[in-house]
């Protein structure tokens, strides 16, 4: 196993316990420089990262390294070392976007901020991850419609479903699908642009600040296929929404394709302007839900093939049964099993697999869910303050999340009705019973509501 493979496995573990933002901030551009007799030198891009890793994450890194290598780590040193310019980091500045470049690319100042860094992402000149393609995307009941809609858009951009709105919880394959469409279309003289919502927002703010608003508009309104990932982050950003609204109109009127992804349906994005919400509803809205065990097995089999690695069916079955949360974590578990056995040059057995995964599995289980974490997750999802959620207000935008939080307390951790009432500022237990019955009934009849609650559960288990 190479240093790079070891580090990838370590990053896979670190990612599980960190928020995406923290993970990217502290682990981007880090790598193992040398390993010798239990002493490891890790290269980091700057002094801030060095001090954070030393002070905050060192213990976890040691544990992860020991888990992956099954060897004792005696010492870790963090060394500031400039990153080698990697193929993945194609920088395209706004100045570089001249008419000669008729096949656009990445984004204004492309960085690959939304892509899983542990994979050492290979991007092509369009800034698209070349391994996110249709042919390695497994279709199950959970993503059938989303997949079909994306294929249709890739075959006939701008005409079939415009805009296409894809939503679903984290790690379920939204970004993969966007890149797959992009990869299909990028070669065909189309100006294809994939951006994260964060990137779009930052570019816009930057353009305004530097007096380059016109260039920004010209750039974005001149794209043939615009993909904006994780659009839920646009909620509450009024200036950006306004700009996106006009970009949207301009592209849509001239039959250019817009595809957006989100962790929830348009209606459920907090502080999203009504007019944008209704634009998103013009086209096709598709969701991706959690995959069933057969789909999870099929995904594992494909990933093994890609790695040229074979695992017995009972092992695949065990991993698929054990890791149910999402596909990113499923892949993480598989990577760990493969990395461990490659490193030790042993053949995986069911027992050794259980052993390797025990750390992760305990990890999943020890994420203790309490009424407080449920309130926190619901508040985060609906972008409300915790005090308001448990407070007295009867406003609809608080009542609905409040009832959902009550429902989740009952459903996920079997909290008693009086305790639920107490958690919400001393409400009566009959209020809690009413809320749980109401939400329980709603999700039977309303697919979207059901999906929304699935997304909150995902968030809950990833906090
Ligand atoms: P999201 O954007 O919804 O958070 P991603 O697209 O980043 O999720 O997917 C997480 C990981 O899972 C990626 O490595 C992706 O390739 C993989 N993945 C997700 N869905 C599938 C699928 N149906 N088939 C194969 N791989 C998948
Ligand atoms: Mg994504």
Q: Which ligand is nearest to the CA of 263?
A: 1
Alpha helices in 266-322 (DSSP H): 274-280, 293-307, 313-322
Comparing 49-58, 152-161, 433-442, the range with the smallest average pLDDT is 49-58
**Closest C-alpha among 405, 398, 399, 367 to residue 383:** 398
Give the environment of ion ligand 2: residues with CB less than 5 A: 174-175
Residues 152, 153, 158, 164, Cα dihedral to 10°: 120
Atom of ligand 1 nearest to the CA of 229: 2
Q: What is the pLDDT of residues 311-362, one digit of tens each?
A: 999 999 999 988 888 899 899 999 989 988 988 889 999 999 998 888 666 5
Atom of ligand 1 nearest to the CA of 143: 23
Comparing 49-53, 121-125, 212-216, 349-353, the range with the smallest average pLDDT is 121-125
Atom of ligand 1 nearest to the CA of 115: 7
pTM over 0.75: no
Extract the runs of DSSP E, i.e. beta strands, from 37-89.
39-44, 75-80
Q: Could you tell me the two tokens for 372?
A: 């407080």
Note whether 78 and 50 are within 8 A (CB).
yes
pLDDT at 412: 84
Ligand 1: residue whose CA is nearest its atom 21: 173
Residue 94 has pLDDT above 50, yes or no: no
pLDDT at 259: 98
Comparing 3-12, 174-183, 199-208, 340-349, the range with the smallest average pLDDT is 3-12
DSSP H/E element including 15: helix 3-16
- Whether residue 13 has its Cβ less than 6 Å from ligand 1: no
Q: How far is CA 154 from the centre of its chain?
A: 22
CB-neighbour burial class of residue 340 (10 A; exposed 0-12, middle 13-18, buried 19+): buried
Compute the distance between CA of residue 55 and CA of residue 32 in angstroms, rounded to an integer.
Answer: 18
Number of other CB atoms surrounding residue 56 within 10 Å: 12
Residues 291, 294, 298, 304, Cα dihedral to 10°: 100
pLDDT at 84: 54
């Amino acid at each position: 196993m190479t240093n790079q493979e070891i580090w990838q496995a370590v990053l896979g573990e670190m990612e599980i316990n960190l928020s995406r933002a923290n993970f990217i901030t502290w682990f981007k551009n880090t790598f193992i420089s040398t390993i010798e007799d239990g002493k490891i030198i890790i290269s980091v891009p700057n002094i801030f990262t060095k001090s954070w890793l030393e002070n905050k994450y060192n213990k976890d890194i040691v544990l992860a390294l020991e888990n992956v290598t099954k060897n004792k780590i005696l010492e870790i040193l963090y060394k500031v070392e400039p990153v080698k310019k990697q193929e993945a980091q194609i920088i395209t500045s706004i100045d570089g976007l001249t008419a000669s470049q008729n096949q656009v690319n990445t984004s204004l100042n492309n960085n690959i901020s939304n892509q899983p860094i542990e994979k050492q992402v290979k991007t092509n000149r369009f800034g698209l991850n070349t391994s996110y393609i249709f042919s390695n995307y497994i279709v199950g009941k959970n993503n059938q419609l989303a997949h079909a809609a994306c294929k249709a858009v890739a075959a006939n951009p701008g005409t079939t479903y415009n805009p296409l709105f894809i939503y679903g919880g984290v790690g379920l394959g939204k970004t993969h699908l966007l890149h797959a469409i992009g990869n299909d279309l990028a070669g065909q003289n189309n100006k294809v642009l994939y951006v994260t919502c964060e990137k779009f927002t930052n570019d816009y703010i930057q353009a305004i600040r530097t007096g380059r608003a016109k260039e920004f508009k010209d750039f974005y309104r001149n794209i043939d296929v615009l993909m904006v990932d994780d659009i839920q982050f646009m909620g509450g950003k009024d200036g950006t929404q306004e700009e996106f609204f006009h970009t949207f109109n301009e592209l849509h009127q001239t039959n250019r394709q817009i595809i957006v992804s989100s962790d929830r349906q348009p209606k459920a994005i907090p502080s999203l302007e009504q007019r944008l919400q209704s634009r998103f509803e013009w086209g096709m809205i598709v969701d991706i839900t959690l995959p069933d065990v057969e789909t999870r097995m099929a995904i594992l089999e494909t990933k093994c093939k890609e790695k040229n690695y074979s695992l017995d069916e009972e092992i695949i079955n065990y991993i698929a049964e054990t890791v149910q949360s999402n596909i990113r974590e499923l892949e993480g578990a598989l990577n760990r099993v493969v990395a461990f056995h490659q490193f030790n040059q042993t053949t995986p057995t069911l027992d050794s697999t259980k052993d390797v995964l025990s750390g992760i599995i305990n990890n999943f289980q020890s994420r203790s869910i309490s009424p407080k974490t449920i309130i926190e997750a619901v508040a985060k999802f609906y972008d409300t303050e915790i005090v308001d959620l448990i407070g007295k207000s009867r406003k609809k935008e608080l009542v609905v999340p409040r009832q959902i939080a009550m429902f989740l307390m009952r459903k996920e951790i079997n909290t008693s009705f009086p305790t639920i009432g107490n958690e919400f500022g001393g409400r009566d237990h009959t209020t809690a019973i009413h809320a749980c019955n109401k939400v329980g009934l709603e999700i039977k009849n309303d697919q979207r509501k059901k999906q929304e609650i699935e997304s909150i559960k995902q968030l809950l288990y990833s906090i």
